[in-house]
Amino acid sequence: MRTRLLPLLLVLMAAVLLALGIPLAVINAGVAQQKVVVDRIDDAARFASLAQFVTARPSVAAGAKTPEEDERLATLRAELTRYYGLYGIRAGVFYRDHTPMAAAPQDLPVPADGEGAQAFSEALAGRRSHDPHQIWPWDDTGRIPVASPVIRDGDVVAVVVTDSPTGQMRSRILHGWLLIAAGEAAAVLVAVGAAFRLTGWVLRPVRVLDTASHDIATGRMNARVAATAGPPELRRLARSFNEMADHVEEVLEQQRAFVADASHQLRNPLAALLLRIELLALELPDGNEEIASVRTEGKRLARVLDDLLGLALAEHSAADLQLTDVAALAAERVGSWRPLADDKGVRLTYEGHPAVTGWADPVALSSALDAVVDNALKFTPAGEPVTVAVAADGARVRITVADRGPGLAEDELARIGDRFWRSSRHQNVSGSGLGLSITRALLAAGGATIAYAPHPPHGLEVTVSVPRSAP
């Protein structure tokens, strides 16, 4: 869930940061350019204040001008030249007819088109030129033209024009953008850390609930959730889960106790009933079919009660997990069942590695193998094999018991292991229908599993799997 929730949070945070960062970058560029424009306006105003006292045109013969006028014009030209040499900004003062009064460099023309020409026209009309368009860091050909009118006696007699390069300004804008990007990157890292903490805080109770649910599903009914972390809604859910688990455990305990008590209480009356049947049999002729049938049903009922008690104990008992040599245990159980297999004419063999370790309850695993092997021997005809194999399969150890009996259909495989269920084709075979249910309960307590599959061309393959690592 975290992998689905984190990208959503990060996308939202990135969208917010971009929504804030892009306008901030635009404002940063605008402020940097505005500073340049204001400086150029101030410079143009200073040049205009010098030029308004120059009344004679440079083309007039020198004798026609006073020394004071020559000094003012020379001062203006010197200022423009020093300004151009110091800052690299082209500047000039032009009469209304576009004749230059003074310029640096001397061949500086009057802007003929673009923003420069528009600024010159606005200055001739007595207005300060408008702000030029925004220059961006990648616009290496852009320049900033600024024009200011020279006013004498209320009339515009000339125009000061500055044409500024933008290299330094673009560098400052780019530097500001890099700082913004660094701040955005730092904010993203902080957002990622905050998102991890937030999702961890929100999802920790969910993970605990999932673990507890899995524990209960696998038979560990005492699993509970500590409702002390996470949002209030999840804490309430944890408390509700604990209440539900308590109720389920109580109901299951009552059911187990009832089955155990009922099977235990019925054993004494049944034993007394079987004893009376035997006493009655002494008064009847030998070979009486009715008494033999009653004996068989009584023994079957006693076996069912024993299995019910065993099932109740298996579902309630905790597993004693140990590091077990599963191969040696399986081989030992095969040796124990071989005399019965030989008596029935079935070839019972063990295959696989001599030593494979896994974590299991040895007693429970032995009982489960006994039930599975007993089942295989019941349904395998004489002359056919029953094979027990042990092999390591990744993180599990698999014990496979394959027989050559009649097998089961697909719908029957789905029901095998249910309590009291037996195939309609095998009703004449002795058994209570609880053996595999007891086996499943014994294995589930220790984290083991049991599975059933066809064994072509005919027969059943039962696979018991136990973990190789400690739970």
The residue with tokens 């009996």 is: 405
Omega before 381 within 30 of 0, i.e. cis: no
pLDDT at 420 over 70: no
Identify residue 375 by its one-letter amino acid code: N
Residue 80 has which token pair?
């423009």
Cβ burial, residue 92 (10 Å; 0-12/13-18/19+): buried
CA distances from 255 to 42, 292, 308, 452 (A): 96, 34, 12, 28
Asked if residues 442 and 449 have their Cβ atoms less than 8 Å apart, the reply is no
Token pair recorded at residue 331: 């081989």
- pLDDT band per the 50, 70, 90 thresholds, residue 62: very low
% residues pLDDT > 90 (the chain): 4
**CA–CA dist 291, 71 (Å, integer):** 149
List pLDDT tens digits, range 72-103. 888 888 988 999 889 889 999 998 888 888 88
- What's the confidence (pLDDT) of residue 314? 56
Least-confidence region, from 135-139, 271-275, 373-377, 394-398? 271-275
Give the confidence band of 61 by pLDDT, cuts at 50, 70, 90.
very low
pLDDT of residue 187: 86
Q: What is the CA radius of gyration of the chain?
A: 50
CA–CA separation, 446 and 458 (whole Å)? 31
Residue 82: the pLDDT is: 92
pLDDT at 335 over 70: yes
For 171-182, how does the pLDDT look when each residue is reduced to its tens digit (9 = 90+)?
Answer: 998 999 899 889
Angle (nearest 5°) at CA 323 between 460 and 339? 45
Whether 385 contacts 393, CB under 8 Å: no
What amino acid occupies position 411?
A: D
pLDDT at 459: 85
CB 161 within 8 A of CB 144: no
pLDDT confidence of 433, banded at 50, 70, 90?
low
Judged on CB neighbours under 10 Å (0-12, 13-18, 19+), 370 is middle
Cα–Cα distance, 129 to 41 (Å, whole number):
9
Give the pLDDT of residue 317: 61
Mean pLDDT of the chain: 80
Is a pLDDT exceeding 80 seen at residue 131? no
pLDDT-derived band at 359 (thresholds 50, 70, 90) equals confident
pLDDT digits (tens, 9 = 90+) for 214-255: 877 766 777 788 777 677 877 888 888 888 888 887 887 777
Angle between helices 232-283 and 167-217 (to 10 degrees): 20
What is the structure's pLDDT at 462?
A: 87
| 435-466 confidence digits (pLDDT tens) | 666 667 767 766 788 888 888 888 888 888 88
Q: Is residue 389 pLDDT above 60, yes or no? A: yes
Q: In which residue are the tokens 């006493």 written? A: 279
In the predicted model, what is the mean pLDDT of residues 160-184?
Answer: 89
* Top mean-pLDDT range of 64-73, 77-86, 286-295: 77-86
More confident residue, 15 or 254: 15
Does the global pTM surpass 0.85? no
pLDDT at site 60: 47
Residue 308 pLDDT > 70, yes or no?
Answer: no
Region class of 352: left (phi > 0), else alpha (psi between -120 and 50), else beta:
left
Higher pLDDT, 306 or 327: 327
If one compares 326 and 317, the residue with the highest pLDDT of the two is 326
**CA 144/CA 35 separation, integer angstroms:** 12
Closest Cα partner for 41 from 185, 160, 190?
A: 160
CB atoms within 10 A of CB 63: 5
Q: Between β-strands 155-165 and 143-152, what pairing exists: parallel, antiparallel or unpaired?
A: antiparallel
- Print the SS3 string covering the chain: CHHHHHHHHHHHHHHHHHHHHHHHHHHHHHHHHHHHHHHHHHHHHHHHHHHCCCCCCCCCCHHHCCHHHHHHHHHHHHHHHHHHHHHCCEEEEEECCCCEEEEECCCCCCCCCHHHHHHHHHHHCCCCCCCCCCCCCCCCCCEEEEEEEEEECCEEEEEEEEEEECHHHHHHHHHHHHHHHHHHHHHHHHHHHHHHHHHHHHHHHHHHHHHHHHHHHCCCCCCCCCCCCCCHHHHHHHHHHHHHHHHHHHHHHHHHHHHHHHHHHHHHHHHHHHHHHHHHHHHCCCCCHHHHHHHHHHHHHHHHHHHHHHHHHHHHCCCCCEEEEHHHHHHHHHHHHHHHHHHHCCEEEEEECCCCEEEECHHHHHHHHHHHHHHHHHHCCCCCEEEEEEEEECCEEEEEEECCCCCCCHHHHCCCCCCCCCCHHHCCCCCCCCHHHHHHHHHHHCCCEEEEEECCCCCEEEEEEEECCCC
Q: Please indicate whether residue 306 or residue 72 has the higher confidence score (pLDDT).
A: 72
pLDDT at residue 133 greater than cutoff 50: yes
Q: Are 115 and 4 in contact (CB under 8 A)?
A: no
Work out the number of other CB atoms within 10 angstroms of the CB of residue 303.
Answer: 14
Look at residue 327 and tell me whether its pLDDT is greater than 60.
yes
